[in-house]
Amino acid sequence: MPDGRDVMAHTLRAEPGVELTVLDLGATVQRLRVPTRDGHPLDVVLGYSDVASYLSPTNPYVGATVGRYANRIAGGRFTLDGKTYPLTTNEADTCLHGGTEGFHLRLWTVVDQAADSLTLELVSPDGDQGFPGELTARAAYRVAGDTVTIELSAACDAPTVVSLTNHAYFNLGGPESGSAEDHLLAVDADTYLPVDPRAIPLGRLDPVAGTPFDFTTPAAIGHRARHHHPQVLRVAGIDHAYHLRGEGLRRAARLEHPDSGRFLEISTDQPSLQVYTGNRLDGTLNGRDGRLLRQSDGIALETQRHPDAPNQPAFPSPVLNPGETYRSITTWRLGSS
């Protein structure tokens, strides 16, 4: 780190099965290796090989745990219990993924570790990026066979808002395959959240039927992300939240690489899934293999509370009170058909 502190990489293994490497910087997923038929494990997430890239202001949150509030809060402010809290803004007047010094830029503390699991903790003080109350957040990773489980939790000492997520970018063809546009995506949602020109939800749920946002049956990402639909043009691809069917831990999405048959199934207990086609991967940073990361080289599938929910009472409440525990569980199951 710039102040001389070391960044540690922790590798979790399931024998036989997946291998996950997590950095204590940002509780970041740096690598996710899966077995292949030829016996050579394949990395299926984007990542960097140096700390400077993770700290870069142009890093689009590659692999990071983001917070205190994932996604966007409009106007860089929200009102809670009659008081308005101004936040740091890092996307025009918007607070994105926790603000200018979000959780992705912090060194988390290891509180528990085993061969197949890792738990990291971060204490965010009262007023951090403008958010009220001290928040103690934890990110717990566990691998077992073909599955990665991510449990994000938090407790506070004063009412606040919280939504944490992991921002991994997946490319099931591996880093040398280039674009993920050929991947087939299915999302278990019948509605999505249309956005304004600032990518802030308009406060309503629109049906996906008849739009390029319809992934109720598997569809190639590239065609949809380059559609002429006004909502696609508005954010130069897909960068929209889906309102998932059902409640509790259930499947949210399936991603498949047609050439290899590799697939990823994501399950979550969260109400929303942000589908992001890497629209801002602009070639300014190199991936681990030295290749420039460009648009659609990976797709992020972020399980979370609804974006801008602190300002939109029609969405499920993101408020956390003292004595309560925020908890989010997400699983990634990887396999080959």
> Is 302 one of the catalytic residues?
yes
Of 81, 79, 80, 61, the residue nearest 71 (C-alpha): 61
> Is 265 one of the catalytic residues?
no
197 φ/ψ sector (left φ>0, alpha ψ -120 to 50, else beta): alpha
Of 175, 188, 158, the residue nearest 80 (C-alpha): 158
CB 304 within 8 A of CB 166: no
For residue 36, the SS3 value is coil
Question: Could you say which of 19, 181, 265, 302 is catalytic?
Answer: 302
Question: Could you say which of 19, 97, 104, 167 is catalytic?
Answer: 167
Burial 284-322 (b: 16+ CB within 10 A, else e): ebebbeeeebebbbbbbbbbbbbbbbbbbeebeebbbee
Distance between CA atoms of 13 and 183, rounded to whole angstroms? 26
Distance between CA atoms of 53 and 59, rounded to whole angstroms? 7
**Residues 223, 259, 243: CA angle, nearest 5 degrees:** 45
Distance between CA atoms of 327 and 36, rounded to whole angstroms? 33
Helical (H) or strand (E) element with 233: helix 230-235
C-alpha count within 13 angstroms, C-beta hemisphere, residue 221: 33
For residue 330, the SS3 value is strand
Burial 180-207 (b: 16+ CB within 10 A, else e): bbbbbbbbbbebbbbbeeebbbeeebee
DSSP code, position 105:
G
Q: Which amino acid is at 135?
A: L
Catalytic residues: 167, 302
